[in-house]
Amino acid sequence: MDGVGVEVSKRPHAVCLPFPAQGHISPMMKLAKLLHHRGFHITFINSEYNHKRMLKSRGPSALHVSQDFCFEAIPDGLPLTDADATQDIPSLCDSTSKTCLGPFRNLLANPSLDKTLPPVTRIVSDGVMSFAIKAGEDLGIPVALFWTASACGFMGYTQYRQLIDKGLTPLRGTCYVT
């Protein structure tokens, strides 16, 4: 039994997969900590690039939250760099959508995950990392999408089709910007 009163092997195991940008990693980390507090085993998956940045800025102890909260990394598909800077977001969006499914699915299917953790019972993926749905379907693991945008930003996403239908976007030239 653990501190929550549930046998360790019967507790759910969630894999949390944020889009590899700060405004997505922080909210996903908060959700992962809340789930962990409620008794979930957590595997938090970063891009290799952000995994290295976290180790560099916070040291090796940053990745040792507890025995049942672990970190893994997958490649984001962009060329490796030692630059400590934000990656180009449009390139990152394109790259993750094209290259991350295989490494993510392989990690879930043949995990290097801590062998003391039970099998993954659910995936919580950033809505931008929608390839996780395919991985979940392939492996029979339920997937929940987590949108990290503000309510105002999310409302904008829901109105995007109407803006296109009304011809308001895409803009026809730079004179429409001001």
Between strands 69-74 and 41-47, the pairing is parallel
Instruction: Determine whether 51 is an active site residue.
Output: no
Residue of 51, 114, 126, 165 marked catalytic: 126
Letter string b/e over residues 58-96, b meaning 16 or more CB atoms within 10 A of that residue's CB: eeeeebebeebbbbbbbbbbbeeeeeeeebeeeebeebb
| Alpha-carbon distances, residue 155 vs 93, 150, 151, 167 (angstroms) | 21, 9, 6, 19
Which member of 13, 24, 36, 41 is catalytic? 24
Instruction: Say whether 13 is catalytic.
Output: no
List, by residue number, the catalytic residues.
Answer: 24, 126
